[in-house]
Structure 1
Amino acid sequence: MIRSTFNVPGHLAKRVLAVFALSLGLSPLAQAAAPEPSAQTVYAQALALSDRLLPLPAWSQSPAFAAFRQALLDAPEGLDTAGIALHFNRSQHAAKLGFSHYALLAPQPDTPATSAPAAPAPLPRLSWPRPGVALLSIPSFALDAAQMLPAAQALAAARPEALIIDLRGNAGGALPAAASLLGLLAPAPVDAGVFLSRRWYGQGRDEPDAAALAQMPALATLDLAALSQALQTTGVARLRIPASPAGGFRGRLLVLIDGHTASTSEPVAWLLRQALGARLVGQHTAGAMLSSEALPLAGGYRLRLPVADYLTPNGQRLDGHGVQPDLQVPPEQALQIALETLG
């Protein structure tokens, strides 16, 4: 998990899980007083959450998931804390479940209050590999919209003839940052796809086609609160990016991708090609695009679980498939070849 940059915010997960935690005996007081849980206790709780929250019920009803359940039942006796998580993760990997962002995280030791805070995500960088050609390197979308502004404003002021956006190694981030990039570049509104939660799929619906997706209501505002509210109430969060007030970018556009371009970076690359005519240069992306949360279990374990499906406007699921480049080249050569492509 890679954690999806179009993630459901933590407060949504907390509201949903408050009910589930009580039903599973996972209240904070119970966890504090209880002895270290057995592997079967942790696995039972993880499976119960999976059955209730995985967006598509079919995912937990498949033959592959049945094999995974059996592997957990057959867990060796006496597994230690690390072994419980390792057996779960090896078993789900071996079962080839068909969806990403699913893992058991072992308890972490208490972090001393004096320890250094986590390093902030690197900011976008704007450079000029040659006159008239701008290179916007975005190592991560784990930013807020304001952190995208300096590079975006410099790009808008410079008005380059061609733009290369480097998403190699970008493992995802947050909806506001991704939306701000697309909003900067889009000369016309962009239909950015749909998130669907268990509330929508759980009513026996099939996967929607492009026509059905187009009829779904778009979020009025592109923020995490609006996304959370939509997924709670209707199970549907359709994203529509407004056109740039400045007219957007109309020059030649190339996007660099590789096997570590994942999560939110994947629909960004897909949308830049579909809506703005960008050419993608590099290698096939990771195919790990679901919205997920790390949900609490007994004993300090957490279950990384997808809580919302994502479909492109034409009904394509990027999770498990990824995005193919238009020009497949080794990642380390992608920038040089992109420059050569521009002539």
Structure 2
Amino acid sequence: MNLQHRIDLLVQLGKYIRHNEAGWQEAKLKAALANAWFTPEFIDIAAENITENFLGAESLKEVASRYDIPETTTTPKTVGIVMAGNIPMVGFHDWLCVFLSGHHSLLKFSSKDDVLIKHLLGKLYEWEPAVRHNTGFAEILKGCDAYIATGSDNSARYFDYYFSRYPHIIRHNRTSVAILDGTEKPEELVSLADDTHQYFGLGCRNVTKLYVPRQYDFVPLLDAMKKYSHFFEHHKYKNNYDYQLAILLLNNQFYMTNGSVILAENTALFSPISQLYYEFYEDKDAVVSALSRNNSVQCIVGHGHTPFGQAQSPAWEEYADGVNTMAFLLTLEQHLRRP
């Protein structure tokens, strides 16, 4: 398949998702039944982000032009992709980069997310049987020329060891933060609730920590987050909320809650499900400077940074961990030539 053919297939895939055809509806239902964290609401949000940000004809052509992707890839390499399963289709962009670049991919799905992307690839097989030759699945990734692996910090150490002899991208735990200055409008706080609550806070682009000025008024924020009060009807989320609340009570620690999310002061970046950490600051610029050097921070939300409500809607080139996947793929030949 040449470049234009691959782009045409990706555009067709975007239309298939957008039109919500019967087969896609069945796949979404199956995914929701297999993983309680993948609610229909959040599967649809993930799908919309993919179609709007990744699968448009113009954006695909622009990326292909920017990276000077050749019309025909004469010596394609096989890239093994270990996909995470924290949010729906989180590994789609890695596969998309490999497919668009003209290389081949061998995918290892997470057991938590092995329905949706597999279904979409099945549609591509149906439309163009040649896709089977450049995208496959495997439980164990062997014989690949390069690897892209996403997981926890613990699994990343394993990946670093196992894939050390090959060109690779290894992703670690990351999270996102928000810096508030107290001038946020009500609609911005409602959008911030999306950044903190979408996907139950399980994504690396979810805000799990707030930096606020002294004397910050948390009441409007807690009111805005009532948008997600229906989370209390989700049994897994409620179990987490009850557990985290019990820990705070036992430790006699101060907290605030609107009945479905807990705010607690903590210097850590990663907060558990149902809880949101906050920390007071004196110097906003100092906070920004420190966060910009922290490898655990995926993005910063706030005035002058990622707009409120946009954390979970990354653009084509907002690569995970800040590592340019397309540049890596298009220089594989150079990597493989090194002794």
- With normalisation by structure 1, the TM-score equals 0.27
The structure with the largest helix share of the pair is 2
Higher relative contact order, structure no. (Cα contacts within 8 Å, ≥ 6 residues apart): 1
